[in-house]
Amino acid sequence: MTVIWAEYDAVLFDLDGVITPTAEVHMRAWSEMFNAFLEEYDGPGDRTPYTDADYFAHVDGKPRYDGVRDFLTSRGVEAPEERVVELGDRKNDAFNEVLERDGVTPYPGSVLLLDHLRGLGLPLGVVSSSANAPAVLESAGVLDRFGTVVSGAVARELGLRGKPAPDTFVHAAEALGSSAARAVVLEDALSGVRAGRAGEFGLVVGVDRGAGAASLTEAGADVVVRDLADLVPQDAA
């Protein structure tokens, strides 16, 4: 896949599943939390076990509490807001325990692209629904690559709507001195791809880590790759 990077003024990366394989940690944490909840829940609604398909359909890429709400709604389960917060916090605790214990290593292909873009002098940003984004980037040793990090905590502080709304991406582009039309979005989540498309970004790249190329394209990706190394010119790799 050839991208003419000189046509753009900024490149915006999702984090989990794009730069680092922490999406796998999130998936395990969500699964453990939701299945424990469903086992103890005895109210109305569908109590069949939570699966990875639920993750991609209802949780991936969204702010944590939105993911809880959307999954419960998909099962016809009504829960008060304090229960939503409790479940979201339980999942976050599980994620942080794994991160602190095991650390995280970025995808080699993602580092290759980061190196290439740094050589071109392009401003880079991270836009993640996770409040843990700075800690993950620091653990992966790449925090210093980015001129702005718009995490879930930043979004809440500034009152920005989370993905699939485009607000966080638009804010990041502006922070890097770019417009949406002159910025690239790289996303593995359907909600994030929809955010890039809704914001009318210059290029929306879907990174297929499990959502499926057809689903990413349908959500609005201009192109889909399996690895960010595919976006590095062969003579630069």
Q: Which amino acid is at 83?
A: R
Contact 184, 12 (CB under 8 A): yes
3-state SS string over 136-192? HHHHHCCHHHCCEEECHHHHHHHCCCCCCCCHHHHHHHHHCCCCHHHEEEEECCHHH
Phi, psi of 206 (to 5 degrees): -90, 130
Contact 113, 228 (CB under 8 A): yes
Radius of gyration in angstroms for the set of CA atoms belonging to the chain, rounded to a whole number: 17
Which residues carry out catalysis?
14, 16
Strands of the 148-150 sheet, one edge to the other: 148-150, 124-127, 10-13, 183-187, 203-207, 223-225
3-state DSSP assignment of residue 126: strand
